[in-house]
Amino acid sequence: MKGSLRKRAGAWELRVDAGMVNGRRVQKSRTYRGTKKEAEAELRRMVTVAERGSDFSADKITFGAHANRWFDGKRALKPLTAARYRELLDRHILPVIGSLPLTKLRPDHVQDVLNEARASGLSEQTALHIYRCLFAVLHQAVQLDLLWRNPAEAVEAPQPERREVEPMKVEILERALSVVATSDLLMPTLLAVGAGMRRGEVLGLRWRDLDFETGTVRLSQTVQTDPEQGWTFTGTKTHRSRVFHLPSFVLDALRAHRKAQSQRRLLCGPGWVDHDLVVDRADGSPMRPWALSRRFRYAMEGAGIDLRFHDLRHANATLSMTAGVDLKATSFRLGHSRIGITADTYVGMPDDHDRAAAAKLDALLAPVMACVSNP
C-alpha cells in the first residue's frame, strides 16, 4: 500500500491507496493537524490499517465507544476492580473526552481529564488511578492499530505523596486487643496482626488451609465485595497462594475458636451454611469485608483508639521488623509481589527463616496476649 501527505492550510492532508474494490480504486484521505512527524506516523498507521483490509473505521470511533469496548473485554477482572474501572470511566473520563474521535485524541486531552479531576477536589492518588485507566484504554488502541501512539505517554503521571507507615506501638495494640477480646472480632484481629493477612484473606481463610501439625497456613482464597451479589470468593491479590508459619498465639487462638465454632454449628443445625470458613457471620456464611472494617472501626472509636482494620497488617510488618525479621521474610509473609514494595512501604522463602519469623513475632506479642487472656 502507498501513502502520501502534503501541507494544506495549516494542516496535513493524508492520503492512502486502499486498493481495488469492485473494480474501482479506493483512496482514503483525511486532514491531520499536528507536526510533520506526527502526521507521518499517522500516515503509517493508515497504511497499516489498509494493508490489513480495514475500512478505516477508527476514524469514526469515539474514545467513549472504544473505552466501553475495552471494558467489555476485561472479563477476568475481579468484581470490585471492574466496578472501580467502570466508575473511573463514567464519572471522570468519559464526561470529558468520551465524545472525541479516538484518532484525534492528543496529550492535551489527557491532561484535561487530570485537570478536571484535580479541580473537582480529587486526591492525587485518585488522579493516578484515572491516569492508569486512561493509559490502559489508549494502550489497547495502539495495539489494535487504531492509534499510532499512546497520547498518555506524553503526560506526566500524577505522583501522590507516599504515605509513611509508622511503627505500631505495642501499647496501642494491647488496648485494641482488649477491646475485641470477648467479641467475634478477636479472631480476625489476631489473623491480621499475627499473620499480616489482608482483610479478604482473613475472611476467605478455610479450616482446610490450616495445618496444625506443622503450624502453617496456605492462603489461596479471599472474600471480596461484589457490587451485585454482595460478596464473592476470588483468588489472592497476587493470583498465587503462599504458605508460611503462624505464631503460636495465633494457632492457640485458632484451636479455641474452632471449638467455639463447632458449638455454634450444632446450635444452628440445618441453618448452618458450610463454606469451611474460619471467620463467619455466626451461621457459617462469609462476613462482608465492608462490615468487618466498619465494625472494627466503630469498636476502636468507642475506646478512643485511632486504628483501622488494615492498620493491623501494617502492625504485623513493623513489629516483625522491630523483632529482627529480615525484609525478605516480611515481604513473603505479607504477600507482596516485589520485595521493593515492602522496602518502600515499611522502610518461596527458606523454611528456617520463615519459622524464625513466626517465633520472633510470637515472642514479641506473648506479653500482650497474656494481658488479653487474663484481663
pLDDT tens-place values along the chain, 375 residues long: 578 888 887 788 888 876 666 667 767 777 777 788 888 887 887 777 676 655 555 567 899 999 999 998 887 777 778 888 999 999 999 999 999 988 889 999 999 999 999 999 999 999 999 999 999 999 998 888 788 789 999 999 998 877 666 777 888 889 999 999 999 999 999 999 988 888 999 999 999 999 999 999 998 888 887 766 677 888 766 567 788 889 899 999 999 999 999 999 999 999 999 999 999 999 999 999 889 999 999 999 999 999 999 888 888 877 777 767 666 766 767 776 666 666 566 654 445 556 777 777 788 787 777 777 665
- C-beta of residue 168 within 8 angstroms of C-beta of residue 126: no
- C-beta of residue 291 within 8 angstroms of C-beta of residue 199: no
Chain mean position to CA 158: 18
In whole angstroms, give the CA distance from residue 312 to residue 46. 55
* Gyration radius of the chain's alpha carbons: 28
In whole angstroms, give the CA distance from residue 362 to residue 108. 55
In whole angstroms, give the CA distance from residue 354 to residue 360. 10
pLDDT at 350: 44
Q: How many CA atoms lie within 13 A of 159 on its CB side?
A: 2
277 contacts: CB under 8 Å, gap ≥ 6: 203, 204, 205, 206, 207, 284, 285, 286
Q: What are phi and psi of 143, to 5 degrees?
A: -60, -30
Number of H helices, E strands in the chain: 15, 8
Domain 170-373 has CATH 1.10.443.10: yes
CATH 1.10.443.10 range(s) for the chain read 170-373
In whole angstroms, give the CA distance from residue 70 to residue 16. 28
Q: What are phi and psi of 245, to 5 degrees?
A: -85, 150
> Which CATH architecture group holds 61-154?
Orthogonal Bundle (1.10)
pLDDT at 110: 95
CATH 1.10.150.130 range(s) for the chain read 61-154
pLDDT at 349: 42
pLDDT at 229: 67
